[in-house]
Every structure is written in structure tokens, then in C-alpha cells.
A and B are shown apart, each in its own frame.
Chain A
Amino acid sequence: MAAVQWKNPVIKWIDYRLPIFTMVHHDLVDYPTPRNLNYWWNFGSLAGITLVIMVLTGIFLAMYYTPHVDYAFESVERIMRDVNYGWLIRYLHMNGGSMFFLAVYIHVFRGLYFGSYKAPRELLWIIGVFILLAMMATAFMGYVLPWGQMSFWAATVITNLFSAVPLVGEAIVRWLWGGFTVDNPTLNRFYALHFLLPFVILGLVGLHMWALHVHKSNNPLGIDIKSPSDTIPFHPYYTAKDMYGLGIFMTVYLFFVFFAPNFFGEPDNYIKANSLVTPAHIVPEWYLLPYYAILRAITFDIWFIPAKLIGVIAMFASILILVLLPWLDRSPVRSARFRPLYKQFFWLFFVDCLILGWVGANPPDAMLMGKISLLVIGQLATLYYFAFFLVIVPLLGIFERPKPLPESISAAVLKPGAAE
């Protein structure tokens, strides 16, 4: 965009030396955005706003939290009972974690449906996968801090995953713990890292935005911007749309904060950690359930590789496989609107993820209606999860016949009687 002429002398003076106003104008005001973005495109900015809320509430919690096994649980209860508005700040932070994952998961499925991972946005997508990984690490360590029963046993189970590594597994776990069990050194380092990682995420989000603004947003038609008439300026059109979406998002978020603050939590986490008693049923937070189901689905050795190691590999692979997706999907068409077969497999994949989440929430030896083993359902769902990426998507790229693409965004949108 052409350089903006600033009138205010102070802004002019600053902008000449540090063109920060020009940058904001370029990326948030003039920024040309496809004119046909639907509401699924709100979730990127919603995730960003939630990240800011998490950092802010987190800093205020840190002013009262004590990272010591003897005081952590009590300090959280003190925040809840004695600190002014402590309950509000903590519930915003607790439920904010769930809302953050909700926004990000919708954002990821949006990307999958409309082919936002395809050239030239592969790196943008990959940075996003790393943001997701960093979020999971942050959420897991944050969950440990209140030092309740679920905190302690989640930390034990997740750190023990690394004991599956051949030869050095035990040494790695001891290194992670700083002792022989999850204990005070573990809590201290988790607190330090839980404080650090959100800033790493902010850095990654910066790269994500940078890469986004090079080739601009994808859109529901999945075709490139071809002329200025395909775009509208970000402000006021999408600032307004994002604010409207934010209003609805905040309504849902604050409903949980005020009316069902422990909806996503586990009652066991209001029992102080006890290293000698494991709760009868350990479950992670909802946003990690599908991966947990994949971990538990592997109950068989393959050749000389023990089941435990394969389970751990499968769990990490279920996320890392997203990195390869831009190259697994050879179809030149981005949007599922023009991919009749992909669209069906996509929705099946979406349901598959929900099934994995449901299996993950249940005990390992549970039965459906007393007949069908949930383990088997989890195994089939895991099979479909990987088959989707490794078999279905690559084959569709070759065999699917996409519908004809519109000539341009403006032609499709501005034509009277044009489809959505």
C-alpha cells in the first residue's frame, strides 16, 4: 500500500523514525482481505484475543500463587476465597484454557475444510501446528500448578510417557522430575515453563501473522485474490465482523465463568495431591482426550517394539502428521466446496475426532451398552484418523474430480443470485 501521510506532528515524528503507525495502518486498516470471508474466519482473531486474556489473567494469578508442594494447593484456595476478585481471575484463566482450545480447534478444522494449508501457505500452517503443540505443553503444565489429585497424576502419567524411550527413558524421566517422583522440583520448573511458554506462543503467533500477511487470507472459495475488486479493506469491514463474533464468543465464555465455572474441570482436583493414592479414573482435560484415546488404543507390540512405545509414538504422530499434510494432499483445489468426496471424508474425520474424545473420556475397559468394547472403538477410530491423512487424502488428490471453480472471488460473490 502507498505510504500514509500522517498529519499529527508527533505521530509524524515517531513514524519517520519507527514506522509503527504505518505498519498498523498497513496490516489492520488498509489490509486487503477477501470480500467473502464467512464466520469460520473469526476464530483466528478469537484465539489471539483469548491468548491475551490468558496472559493477563495469568500474570495476576502469579502475584498470589506459591509454587511449592506445601503451599500451592492452599495458595490457589486463598486466591479463590480471600484475594479480591481472585475467583473471577482464576475462573477466567481456567475456562479461558478451554475456550482457547475451542477457538483453535475450530480454526484448525476451518483450515482443513477450506484447504488453508495448501501452497503458498504451508509454512503458515506448520507454524500453526507448533503453536498447537506449545499450547498443549502450556496447558498441561498449568493444570499441574494447583497441585490437586488430577494435577499430580496427570503430571505423573504424562512425564512417564517419556520412560517409553528406549535406553535413556528412565534417565529422561528423572531429569524431567528433578527427583524420583513428581515432587517440588517438578512443580517449580513447571511453573517457570508455564510462565515462559505463553511468550513463546506470542512469538510464534507473530510469525504466523507475518506469514499470513504475505499471501493474505484464504477464503471459502479457496481461489486466489486476482484483482482489487476481490478484496475489501480489513477496517471497518472485518474489524466490525470480528467484534461481533467476539461478543458471541465472550457470551459463551462468560456463561461458563459465571454459571458453570467447573464444568470442564474434575472434582478430584479439589483434593490436594497425594502421591500414594491414584484416583480411580484419571482423565485429561477435554481438549487432550482424543490423543489420550490414541495413546491407549495401542495395546499390542509390533515386532520388537513394545506397545507402550508405539502408543506414545502414535500420540505424538497424530499431531505431527499435520506438518506433512500440505504434501500429502496433492489436490490443486483448496476448498471442500468444490471437492465432493473430500467433503464427506472431512466430516467423517471430524466425527472420528469426537469419537476419539468420547473414548478417551471413558475408562479403558468400558463397554458400550455392555457389548462393544470401547477399546476396539478407539482402535478403529485411531485407524481412521491415520488412514485419513496417509491413505484417503493422498488418493483423493489423484482420483477425485473437483467441481469447476469460479473465475474469481468477485465474480462469484457479486453476481446476482450467486451461490452463498
Chain B
Amino acid sequence: MTATATTAGPLDDGKSRRDFLLIATSTVGAVGTALAVWPLVDSMNPAADVLALASTEVDLSAIQQGQSITVVWRGKPVFVRHRTAAEIKAAEATALSELIDPQPDKARVKKPQWLVMVGVCTHLGCIPLGQKANDLKGDYGGWFCPCHGSHYDTAGRIRKGPAPQNLAVPDYQFLSDTVIRIG
């Protein structure tokens, strides 16, 4: 067996074996190149220390009704709003059929008076206005993005403008009645 296998076969056999060797070598070469390129590509992804950014704890006790604060989580602003009864009512009363990205209000909050969401417009990443008392709040009384004119309602849902999605709600949990941990 070993003796015959190492002996060169007839001419056309040798040719097809050469083709096979060429294709196999090129394939291994191509896969090897791709494997060698991957570390370069992946090096541009977030590094371990960036991924390890700690979660952020927020004390809610100082935030009055109708007030908002902005906290930084993973370098992004997170909006925390103590909603008024009127805002909660407006958000809950909105029919899903009116929404661009339909989501009921209760799916966006853990406790109705506390709205926590990433304050980054889902269009092209600007920070919407509406955190300060005298900011523009848009046509729906929530937030308004000045870059390209997206209007968000009192639940941070997109109502008008180019943004495709509601403002994102991050993972968070209530550690006590007045402290949340984001991330």
C-alpha cells in the first residue's frame, strides 16, 4: 500500500494530483491569510478594559417630580426622569397604532414614575434636548433632537422625524426604592 501510494501514477493521474495540490495549497493559503488578518480587524473592536467599564449606580432620592438628571454610563448619557402624573398618563394613553416603534409605556419602565433610558438619538447619535426645564421638548413634550429634528414623547418613544427607534432602555435594576444600578 505505502509503496504504491508514493509511486507516481500514469500521466493524467499525476495531472489531477497536481491540480488537487494546487487547489489545496491555495485554499490553505487563503484560509491562513484570513486567519492572519482577523487579529488586525478584531484589534479595532473594544478592548478588554473598555468592555470592563463598571456599571453605574444612581441615587434617585434627590430628583424631584418633573426633574431629570443625566448620568454617564459607558461614556454615554443616560436620562433619568422623575415623571409627573400627567406625563405618565399621556404616555400610557397613547395608542400603539400611533407609534413608529410600537411599545407600551409599561414595557419601558420598571416603576411608572421613573423613566431611565440612553439619551442618544437613534437616528445618528446626537443628544436630544429636553433634560433642562427650559429646553425644547418637541411636539410631544418629551425630548427633541436638534440635529435632524426627531421628536420623542414622555416615554422616550419616537413620534416624528427621521429616527427609526425609541430611545433605548438600558438594563438596570432597583437596588432599593431610591437607588438603581445601570448595566
Contacts and interface: CB of A to CB of B under 8 A. Distances in A.
Interface string B135-163: 00000000001111100000000000011
Given A160-B123, A160-B124, A178-B45, 4 more contacts: A180-B75, A181-B75, A308-B123, A364-B147
Given A178-B44, A276-B70, A280-B146, A185 B126 contact: no
Interface string A26-48: 00000000000000000000000
Contacts of B44: 175-176, 178, 185, 189
B47 interface: yes
Given A153-B126, A156-B125, A174 B46 contact: yes
A248 to B, nearest CB: 39
Interface of B: 41, 44-47, 50, 53, 70, 72, 74-77, 123-127, 145-149, 162-164
B164 A178 contact: no
Per CB-CB distance, the 8 closest pairs between chain A and chain B, nearest first, are A160-B125, A181-B75, A160-B124, A278-B126, A180-B74, A278-B127, A157-B124, A156-B125
Nearest to A158: B124
6 contacts: A156-B125, A180-B50, A180-B53, A181-B75, A282-B147, A308-B164
Contacts of B147: 153, 157, 278, 282, 364
Contact of A185 (B46, B127, B146): B46
Contacts of A175: 41, 44-45
Contacts of A276: 70, 72, 77, 127
Contacts of B149: 363-365
Given A175-B45, A178-B45, A282-B126, A185 B162 contact: no
B122 to A, nearest CB: 8
Contacts of B145: 278
Interface in A233-286: 275-282
Given A178-B50, A296-B148, A364-B148, A183 B75 contact: yes
A277 B125 contact: no
Contacts of A299: 162
A160 B162 CA distance: 13
B78 to A, nearest CB: 10
B183 to A, nearest CB: 11
Contacts of A177: 46
A311 interface: yes
Contact of B125 (A157, A306, A365): A157
Interface of A: 153, 156-157, 159-161, 163, 174-181, 183, 185, 189, 275-282, 296, 299, 306-308, 311, 363-365
Contacts of B41: 175
A179 B46 contact: yes
A74 to B, nearest CB: 20
A383 to B, nearest CB: 18
A9 B38 CA distance: 52
B46 A308 contact: no
A183 B76 CA distance: 10
A197 B94 CA distance: 51
A216 to B, nearest CB: 40
A163 to B, nearest CB: 8
Contacts of A176: 44
A306 B148 CA distance: 16
A19 B72 CA distance: 62
Q: Which of B76, B125, B162, B163 has the most CB of A within 10 A?
A: B125
Contacts of B70: 276
A156 B126 contact: yes
B73 to A, nearest CB: 9
A308 B162 contact: yes
Nearest to A155: B125
A359 to B, nearest CB: 13
Contact of A311 (B46, B75, B162): B162
Contact of A178 (B47, B127, B146, B162): B47
Nearest to A298: B162
Nearest to B72: A276
A282 B149 CA distance: 12
A278 B146 contact: yes
B125 A307 contact: no
A142 to B, nearest CB: 19
Contacts of A163: 125
Contacts of A153: 126, 147
B75 A307 contact: no
A389 to B, nearest CB: 25
A289 to B, nearest CB: 14
A276 B131 CA distance: 11
Contacts of B53: 180
Given A308-B164, A364-B149, A181 B124 contact: no
A296 B50 CA distance: 33
Nearest to A153: B126
A189 B41 CA distance: 12
Contact of B76 (A157, A180, A278, A306): A180
Contacts of B77: 275-276
